[in-house]
Amino acid sequence: MPKQISKRGALRFDGLKRPVRYKTEFEDGQAYIVNISTSGCALEQATVEFTERERILLTITFDSPDDTIEIQAKVVRAGQETTGLKFQRVSEVNKQRILHFFASLAREQRTR
């Protein structure tokens, strides 16, 4: 899982396939995070289609089902296979949780 600085200036973790849940205005869905930074993420295999500029609530689960964060996000790219989300109003605490968790996953993958 390579790490790189994205063009948005945030450390990004690629090569993921991490399940997440989300809520649109009318429906709940599931997808997989394929990359993530503290400013946004890309999803694949969404069970409910997105439209550009749509606002959603994304739930990321960390190590246990009780260890989650909810992030408001805006759809910035709705493609056939991949959807790009920009996070809205993420606290510094949650940014640090994202960084630490996905950095830990990256280290685990390198040692395998």
Q: Tell me which long-range contacts 62-71 makes (C-beta under 8 A, separation of at least 24).
A: 62/97, 62/101, 63/101, 69/94, 69/97, 69/98
pLDDT at 80: 86
pLDDT at 1: 46
Count of structural domains within the chain: 1
- Per-residue pLDDT reduced to its tens digit, 18-52: 999 999 999 999 999 999 999 999 999 999 999 99
Question: Do 99 and 9 form a contact (C-beta atoms < 8 A)?
Answer: no
CB atoms within 10 A of CB 25: 8
The CA distance from 67 to 54, in Å, is: 26
Residues sharing a CB contact under 8 Å with residue 88, sequence separation 6 or more, in sequence order: 55, 71, 72, 73, 74
The CA distance from 95 to 104, in Å, is: 14
Indicate which CATH number applies to the domain containing 27: 2.40.10.220
- Per-residue pLDDT reduced to its tens digit, 42-89: 999 999 999 999 999 999 999 888 999 999 999 999 988 999 999 998
Domain housing 88: 3-111
For residue 91, give the DSSP letter. Answer: -
